[in-house]
Structure 1
Amino acid sequence: MRNIKINIQYDGTRYSGWQSQEHDENTIQGKLTAVLRRLLEEETELAGSGRTDAGVHALGQVANFKTCSCMSCEEILEKLNHYLPEDIAVISAEEMDGRFHSRLNAVRKTYSYRIWNSSVHNVFERRYTWFIEQPLDVSAMRRAAAELTGTHDFRAFSSIKRGKKSTVRTIESIDIDQDGSAITLSFTGNGFLYHMVRILTGTLVEVGLHKKTPEDMKRILASLSREQAGVMAPAQGLFLMEVEYQ
């Protein structure tokens, strides 16, 4: 049994997220699995490195599947891209050790969130940015971001329901870059909770709008309460950029 790793890019605008759903075939995982089963002529289970929500995009999603097919990785890559819709692309395919798992073996992920901060809409980026008309204090946002880096319990910055699983994560860096009206927030860490990046972004935006202060971040973390954090940023500005492995 061969184990194939694929790297995927997609525009998530018209999809119901990554994960296959029983009553909704319009998912990235569902589209890929359907094409793989057609190509390989066998039942195929596709495992992803993590879920992305409806409307979220990816430049570096990773998945793997096992197959008895002798089809080369080059041929799998070519045929996948031939049959997939134009808003999903497989950018590489390679054979891995049988123990490789795209989710369980991931050690680091990077997400980016794009904001268009201007009084005028960017017509051509409207599907890929959060439009915010009021000026943002990027300096204050960077100070707040510094308070959120490191190892913390991020329960307050997640939509996850209370359970036994740990909500402690390590964020290695939060970089905020501004180029004119374009502001990009980049988050790198060992893992992210449900809606965590979008809630972190919404909270940092509230700091930029002076609705919260950088000093509030420690209090919010300590509260472990979702109600203390900021709004959840819209899905369309979020991109899964890279998944790293040892």
Structure 2
Amino acid sequence: MDATLQINNLSKSYKEKNKAVKNVSLRVERGEAVGLVGESGCGKSTLARIICGLLKQDEGEIIFQDKPINLKADRHKEYYRKVQMVFQNPLAVFSPHMRIGKFLMEPFLNFRLMNKKEAWEHCSSLLKWVSLPEEMMHRYANELSGGQLQRVVLARAIGIKPALLVCDEATSSLDVTAQHDIVKVLMNLKAQQSMSIVFITHDLALAQQVCQKIYVMKDGEIVETIQSHRLQEAKNDYTKSLIKAVFTL
């Protein structure tokens, strides 16, 4: 398979703190969903923000579609288009004074992919793709539920057809029904567009459902890499404790 993303020996420290990410390496093939699992504070979100160019690593390299990426020096506009992120809290990315339609249209206009008429029509169809009615283009964020907002955010992220989608705890704040809807959209997306996904979660059972391969992270380090269908063969004690917790529940 061809790698969409290759991370080699990545490290990141914050001031007056130990390393949040320690010598992390991982690989995401084209069309593959990869899970990044671990408890809160283990470095998952820091790693996600580095991948998406929101933070700069101290050490290590990022290779995207076979090309080394230096976001700080080069400001790769195309990279920011091809790598999209869905955060845990959808309200964090919405302006309360912006209608859903304008929010959805922004990337298509900013990247000059479409004119306003084309963007409006395209975004209306994106809403249908995530099972939302076209009339929501006229609504404001506070008029939608958390699950609906997350589907809007997902529609915007996938609308410009990125090569890599990074989901940082994108379903953890949703109820079971909304979570199921988001997962269904992600699975359809991967199947239809050969999009690569980095799915970050503390929920090992959910990662197993979505992903082919899982990286287990603890204290800033990858402690085990394992195929989802072979979780019962885990060797690391921390991974085993996560599996035990799932079966106990």
Band of TM-score, shorter chain: under 0.3
Query: Is the helix fraction higher in 1 or 2?
Result: 2
Larger radius of gyration: 1
TM-score w.r.t. length of structure 1: 0.27
Query: Is the strand fraction higher in 1 or 2?
Result: 1
TM-score w.r.t. length of structure 2: 0.26
Structure with higher RCO (Cα < 8 A, 6+ apart): 2
